[in-house]
Structure 1
Amino acid sequence: MERNFLIPKSLLLFIPQTDFSEEEYLAITSLLKRERINFFIASDATGICVGSSGLKVKNDIQLYNIHPVNFGGLIIVGGSGARNYKGNQKLIKIVQEFNRLDKPIGAICSAPLILANAGVLGDFAVCYPSDKPELESLGVQYKDVPVFADGRIITARDPKAAVEFAESFVGLIKK
């Protein structure tokens, strides 16, 4: 039986407090806006999130206020700052709850390490190439492609894959 992943609610877009990938963030948010998909920016920042080149983004919701039942899916933006969250128990629990609720989950660049630590990835995933050894140490085989979809979970390699990643995620939720 094929599941229908139409989003009855807004998406949640998690960005690291510092050093998130601006290219990924802008590619994803641009497509979501074009497709008229509502989204909220989440972070653990109490003020402004700052990207790797200085882009400032105000989050809409604090990490501790996230209730996955209120959102139709989750995207985690990567960048070097995402590595700081691979062991963040609050974010891991949020990812696990999105998974338990059978909601679409996407992660790009270093963010798939968060999904691996949450135990929600299948046998294969994509991540930033330098994170491959850590991904594989967590029991997930690295797939050498820009974007990889495994059911309702999509992972992507790097900023160059951000547009394809965003298009794949939107395609998944519009099935």
Structure 2
Amino acid sequence: MSCVLVPLADGFEEIEAISIIDVLRRADIEVIMGSLSEHLMVNGAHGISVHADRPVKGLSVDELDMIVLPGGWGGTKALAADLNVQNLLKAMDAKGKAIGAICAAPYALEAAGVLKEGYTCYPGIEDELSTAGFVGAEQAVVESANVMTSRGPGSAICFALAIVKKLKGAEASEKLRSGLLADYCASM
């Protein structure tokens, strides 16, 4: 079974995090909700608190098949500043393992030096990034090498389905897309 880490920091974008976690778990992908501290209750940007499964600290890259960062500006800045998350991102990239980021979270990927040319993000965040190759709004999900990025809350389910496709194949993704009535994601 594939294992994906979704690190949660105070200020995370709830729609993105919960949509990704929910869709991946529906696809029978193990998801670890990781907290940046020993305190497991993490507060979202819009007043929704989530109880994480465990701290990120102590996780090994060998335990993971992918790491996916939700956006939210406050959460993103915390992910960019967190040594454990940054080290995991670097180690995942060094091993060619899958990395994902949505909304503002490509900012945290750039902080780790793992953002690739050919990415998308929430409008305006590209102005905060020095990595070339911003794709813009043409695509809801952009994949460059081992890094997958997406636009924001409205593209979260499409992003999660693209992750399912990457980890479990097109058939699993299509079956889940159909069951979720996510017809707008069919052109991915």
Please name the residue that 1:140 is paired with.
132
Name the % identity.
27
Q: Is the 8 A contact 2:6 2:34 kept in 1?
A: yes
1:126 paired with 2:120, answer yes
Match of 1:4 in 2: none
Higher helix proportion, which one? 2
Number of corresponding residues: 165
Tell me the TM-score normalised to structure 2 length. 0.81
Q: 1:22, CA displacement in angstroms?
A: 0.8
CA distance in structure 1 between the aligned counterparts of 2:84 and 2:110, rounded to whole angstroms: 15
Shift of 1:119: 1.6
1:152 aligned partner? 146
Report the alpha carbon displacement of residue 111 of structure 1 after superposing the two structures with TM.
0.8
Is 1:10 the counterpart of 2:3 in the alignment?
A: yes
- Of structures 1 and 2, the one with the larger relative CO (CA 8 A, separation 6+) is 1
Q: Deviations over 1:145-173 (max 9, x none)?
A: 32111132101111111011111111111
Cα distance between partner residues in 1 of 2:60 and 2:21: 21
**2 CA distance for matches of 1:173 and 1:141?**
25
| Partner of residue 60 from structure 2, selected from 64, 67, 70 | 67
Contact 1:104 1:173 in 2 (8 A): no
| Inter-partner Cα distance in structure 1 for 2:88 and 2:127 | 25
What SS does structure 2 have at the residue aligned with 1:42?
A: strand
Report the aligned-residue RMSD.
1.6
Q: Does 1:78 align with 2:87?
A: no
Instruction: Report the alpha carbon displacement of residue 63 of structure 1 after superposing the two structures with TM.
Output: 2.5
